[in-house]
Amino acid sequence: MLERFFLMPKTLDRIRGSWLGPSIELYVTALCEQGYSARSIYRRVPMLLQFGAFAEARGVHCLDEAEKAIEPFLADWLARRRNRSDKRQREDRNLCRPVLKGFFCIVARHSRYYRFRTAVAEPFEANVPGFFGYLQDERGLRPGTLEHYRHALRRFEAYLETVGSTDLRMLSLPVLTGFITTSAQVCQHRAMTTLASTLRVFVRYLKREGITKRDFRKSVETPQHYRLAEIPRSIGWDAVQKMLDQVDRRTAVGRRDYAMLLLMATYGLRAREVAALTLDDIDWKRDRLHVRERKADHTTAYPLAPAIGEAIVDYLKNGRPGVESRELFWRHPAPQAPLTYVTVSTCAGKYLRKAGIPVSRPGSHTLRHACVQRLVDEGFPLKTIGDYVGHRAASSTMIYAKVQVDGLREVALGDGEDLK
């Protein structure tokens, strides 16, 4: 595999002459399988050779022992680059450590490596160590729900440190009220609802474990929110077309993004549903698109629109990496992996901002709202629209029937003479 990148015999001999030579060759093979470019390999191999020489000079000839020399080598490697700018030094540091950690992860532990991250301690782990075990074992909460609990409780933990009240045994109602009031200034109503619910569960657990003498659960009030009180953050179809015009379809990434944006704007698909699509979900013979495992626990089959079919075919022929897995949309920077729903939503937000379309919280749901609003404007029944976009309850669709957004916008911008 090394001959594919290094043509000079002296260079090959120097790599294979190092005690790390066989491991470097295995590493390069693994990088090729994960879709890394030649430029990435050219940057990594010389660094590994320098690390091998550094470790050998200190009497290290074993991979298990060499891994302990990563930090000393990094300090020495950066010290020899002090004449570079601060920006270049940060780039060197951000490249060197992940390369060495990834090398040992792939070669010594035979596992894929993305980036080592320092584990963050659970909130209130020192004072209430069993809380997350209680949530998982007794309440049976899913990992995604536990993340919401961690996020809310880290905010509460930071607030207690700010006000100097870290002893949970001294927790009082004014402290809880102050936290809710402070959070309400920066959080929207949905985030506040989650925050209040998490806090009620937490203070009830504190009382159960005898950490607090009083049960503050009933004192934590959920903010009032009225159903259908908001207007969906939809955009007009002209704005959708303006956003699609920002995609450079000459590139592989542009072909992929264009197909995803069309799916979200035409069918109102959620980011999770787009990320979960596979090659098996497209029935080319019957011109059908199957969306499985939707939020409402059902499957929807859509007619495959010609424009969307052409966009997907263009991506499959000229953009999708040559991988054996059946997932439809893939990331292009190495290591190759299927797209996550976060990336899909971020992609939509990127093009909305690039088109200069003013909308709060731009993302995949903006296109979903635009799809529903267009169907409402065309006069389709709300039940039909709800089934089309996969709404679980009719109330989810009713909000779009509250106002005619475009009509009100024309009245607001006009001189008022049309009003009777």
* Phi-psi label, residue 298: left if phi above 0, alpha if psi -120 to 50, beta otherwise: beta
Terminal C-alpha separation, the chain: 79
Helix, strand, coil fractions of the chain, as percent rounded to 5: 60, 5, 40
User: Where in the chain are the domains?
Assistant: 2-107, 131-219, 237-413
- pLDDT value of position 156: 93
- pLDDT value of position 37: 82
- pLDDT value of position 263: 94
Radius of gyration of the chain (CA): 28
Residues 110/27, Cβ–Cβ less than 8 Å: no
Write the CA distances from 15 to 36, 150, 367, 388, integer angstroms: 19, 47, 52, 59
Task: Kindly list the catalytic residues.
Answer: 270, 295, 365, 368, 391, 400
Alpha carbons 105 and 223: distance in angstroms, whole number: 48
Task: Name the residue among 234, 246, 236 with its Cα closest to residue 389.
Answer: 234
Which residues 6+ apart lie within 8 Å of 142 measured at CB?
Answer: none
DSSP letter, residue 222: P
- pLDDT value of position 280: 94
Residues 128/206, Cβ–Cβ less than 8 Å: yes
Alpha carbons 304 and 295: distance in angstroms, whole number: 21
> Per the confidence metrics, is the pTM higher than 0.95?
no
Alpha carbons 302 and 368: distance in angstroms, whole number: 15
Alpha carbons 357 and 245: distance in angstroms, whole number: 12
Alpha carbons 231 and 395: distance in angstroms, whole number: 13
Provide the β-strand partners of residue 155: none
- pLDDT value of position 114: 44
CATH H-level, domain 237-413: superfamily: Intergrase catalytic core (1.10.443.10)
Q: Output the tens digit of pLDDT for each of the chain's 420 residues.
A: 788 888 888 888 888 889 888 889 888 888 888 878 888 888 889 889 999 899 889 888 888 888 888 888 888 888 887 777 777 777 777 888 888 888 888 887 665 544 444 456 789 988 888 899 999 999 888 887 888 899 999 999 999 999 998 889 889 989 998 998 898 888 877 788 889 999 999 999 999 999 998 888 888 877 666 555 555 667 888 999 999 999 999 999 999 999 999 999 999 898 999 999 999 999 999 999 999 877 766 788 899 999 999 999 999 999 998 888 899 999 888 778 899 988 999 999 999 999 998 887 888 889 988 888 888 888 888 788 888 887 776 666 666 655 455 555 555 566 555 544
- The pair of structure tokens assigned to 195 is 């925050």
b/e code 67-85 from CB counts within 10 Å (16+ = b): bebbeebbeebeeeeeeee
